[in-house]
Amino acid sequence: MAHIVGIGGTTRAESGTELAVRYVLKVCEAKGATTRMFSGPEMEQLPHYAPERPERHGMAVDLVDELRKADGVVLGSSSYHGSVAGLIKNAIDYTQDMMKDDRPYFTGRPVGCVATGAGWQGVVATLEHLRTIVHSLRGWPTPLGAAINTMEKQFTPDGEPVDEKVGFQLKTMADEILTFVDRWRE
């Protein structure tokens, strides 16, 4: 059984970014995976990553432990001035604690990247930045990344995509993550 970890959202609970990541995890769960979500409000508890300080906040320990167990990851960020939100980047920086693991960083893990924002220019740039970060951490970005323009409401109150194209992107991403996990295990 695959274990997929989602990291995404803003300080606002139920943001479009969080809903998108949660939807990918929901699709993975429907196909038999276990999941763990780290949402924006939860990540607000994370202190700024400081590699020179070995002590870790409980939230940071939990995040890194879950990433170590993960077979796949979903990263979601709102576009903040054309790039990854600081809240998400800070969480990603904690992967440095995995540097000396047998499976360092995101090695051998598929990573779905989701970028959201009010306009295409920032969303596309943010998606590219997420994919670059995943490459730097030795992960495998899924072939399809999701770029979601939130100028219009994209999700129902229960987290279902309103736009069938958004639903297609997120379902495809979930399928790609799980397919990669299965092939990696072979």
- Percent of the chain with pLDDT strictly greater than 90: 88
Q: Say whether pLDDT at 13 is over 90.
A: no
- Give the pTM: 0.96
Of 129, 120, 63, 59, the residue nearest 95 (C-alpha): 63
State the pLDDT at residue 153: 86
Tokens 């970014």 identify what position?
A: 17
Token reading at 21: 């990541």
What is the per-residue pLDDT for 152?
A: 84
- Mind listing the pLDDT tens digit for each residue in 60-102? 999 999 999 999 999 999 999 999 999 999 999 999 999 999 9
For the cut 90, the answer to whether the pLDDT of residue 143 exceeds it is: yes
Cross-strand partners of 39: 8
Q: Which pLDDT value is given to residue 109? A: 97
> Is the backbone of residue 118 left (phi > 0), alpha (psi -120 to 50) or beta?
beta
pLDDT reported for residue 183: 92
The per-residue pLDDT for range 15-35, each reduced to its tens digit, is 999 999 999 999 999 999 999
At 110 the three-state DSSP class reads strand
Check the CA dihedral 160-44-107-123 and report its sign: positive
Is the pLDDT score of 163 beyond 80? yes
**Mean pLDDT of the 37-55 span:** 93
Mean pLDDT of 117-128: 94
pLDDT surpasses 80 at 113: yes
The domains found in the chain, sorted by start residue, are 3-185 (3.40.50.360)
Please tell me the predicted confidence (pLDDT) of residue 29. 98
